[in-house]
Structures are given as structure tokens and as C-alpha cells.
Amino acid sequence: MKNKILKILTKTNGIKSGEKLSSELGVSRVSIWKHINKLREAGYEIISTPKGYYLENNHDYLFPWEFPKREADIHYFPETESTMDIARNLARKGCPDFTIVIAEKQTRGRGRLQRTWLSEKGGLFFTMVLRPVIPPVLSSRVNFAASCSLARVINHLFNIDAKVKWPNDILVCEKKISGMLSEMEADGDLVSFINIGMGINVNNDPTPYEPNAASLKILAGKEISRKELLSAFLDDFQSAMKNIDYDKIIDQWKQYTMTLGRYVSIATTKDVSRGLAIDVDKDGALILELADGKLKKIIYGDCFVQPPKKQ
């Protein structure tokens, strides 16, 4: 009902009376009044006049009713420690495939190797619960499919040349705009769930804390609709998962990568490896050519790409 009211008010050029809202939606005027008050409490600027209601601002909220086809599967929090923690609990309790946990702000957002992910208001922070019927050995390829979808959507929506840095960060002009963290649990020979958490710098400004980061707003020079971005990404990724060919994912990912052919250093909890990134194997491991010419396979780690040489 909230979504229907918002749709009508958004499309109405002017004031919409409570009587007309009641008639169009088939509910009482008292019910309309109650729903509008709830929307106001959530932050919507709905103005009352003697002739009816109107919506004053262009909102960019991420409440479940803003996604009518997904409303039942979206869990929204104004603030939480980590969407990954909530998603893990939901997954273990049997929530459906493509359950989404969204937070306006995280107080303990984290990236790879337990690094802190800054989660300030204006960004897009969410975790997806996925239940592909696959053996655990294929689970890492789902992460690569997700990063492909995000890069593809950013390119399409904003005409921004988004690239993927191994394993799954999204960069534009060498500046990081998105990071990903995933975890998997198995039940016997099959995956029970894969949770993929994403943090995307949309309308926030991470540069005071992370000079090598950027946001879509900074790059585009205007405010970006987080709702539009999330909707487009979820539609693209869900479609990709329905038609997924696990043997071709890495090749698709390579179309967007900016890592291969570059000198990199990979930090893990144990050591740092340096060399030329020459390939990514079928399971997503990075193949480095070391200074002595030997090849080394890197399964996980934080990748730092050396700046390209100036011509």
C-alpha cells in the first residue's frame, strides 16, 4: 500500500485528495491517512493541504516497499553493525534465495582480511543471500559473476567505464568505488548458501579517508539514485544467475578486468607476493609471474596494482 501511494503521488502533477486516493486504492480515507503518517515517519516529505496531499521532494529511499517485486525478500535497517552478520543468521534460518539485507549505515562494515569498510550515509551497503545448487568448488565463480554484473550495470546506467580489479573490486580511473566480501556454507556436497556483501560509494564522499577511492556522484558530477542502481543490479545479476554457465564466467570477467598485464602486489594474512599478473584460472585464482620467472597461484588476498607507466 505504501508503494502504491508513493507511485500515485509521484506521478500526480499537483495535489491528490484523500478521497481520490481512497477510491483508486480501494481502502478507507482513514487507512490512507495512517499509511501517509507512516511514510512521513520514514522520512518522506508528504505535505497536507485542505485539498489533499503532495510529495515535495524526489526521494531516494531503500525501504522494502520501494522494490515492489522484491518487497517480501528485502530487510532494511537504518543502521546496523554489519549486513553480513544479519544475512548469515537469515540464511541459517532458511530464508529464500535472493534475500537482500540493506543498511543505510554500518558501524562495523568490513572488507577482505578484516579491514574496515567505511559505511557512511549516501553509500549503498547490502548483502545478498544466494542458494545456487552447486558444489562448493564452484562457489567462488558466483563472486566473479556478481562483479561482472555490477561493472556492466554501472557502464550501462552512467556511461562510466567501470573495471574489475582482482578479485572483485570495482574501479573507475584507478579509483575504487566498490568492494565485495563473500562467505559460503555447505551442506554435504552442495552449497547451502553464498552470502555476497557489497559496499558501493554512490553519493557519499570517501576521499577524506581513502584518497584512492571515489564515488559515483563525484565521477558523474551529480546525485545518483541508489534505488535505480540497486534495482538494475539485482535484475541483471538474478538474470545472469538463472542463465549462468560456470565454465564461461571467468572469461566474461576478463572483459572488464584492469588487473591482467599489470604489476601487482598481493597481501594475505601471511605474506606479500609481487609480480606480473598474467592470468586468472577457471576457479578465479590469480597467476603471477615472479621476478625469477616462476609462476605462483594466488587464491585469495588484497590486490594492489602499480600505476600504469606514463607514455
Structural contact between residues 175 and 165, judged by C-beta atoms closer than 8 angstroms? no
Residue 11 counted as an annotated binding residue: no
Q: Which residues of 76-107 are buried (b: 16+ CB within 10 A; e: fewer)?
A: bbeebebbbbbbbebbeeebeebbbbbbbbbe
Residue 70 counted as an annotated binding residue: no
d(CA 152, CA 161): 9
Residue 112 counted as an annotated binding residue: yes
Grid cell locating 278? 598474467
What single letter denotes the amino acid at residue 53? Y
Residue 176 counted as an annotated binding residue: yes
d(CA 22, CA 11): 16
**Owner of C-alpha cell 559460503:** 184
Residue 87's alpha-carbon distances to 82, 145, 212, in angstroms, are 9, 20, 29
Which residue, 211, 112, 201, is CA-closest to 158? 201
Beta pairing class for 263-267 and 302-305: antiparallel
Q: Which residues contact 217 (CB under 8 A, 6 or more apart)?
A: 122, 202, 203, 204, 205, 223, 224
In the annotated binding site, the residues are 106, 110-112, 176
In the annotated binding site for biotin, the residues are 106, 110-112, 176
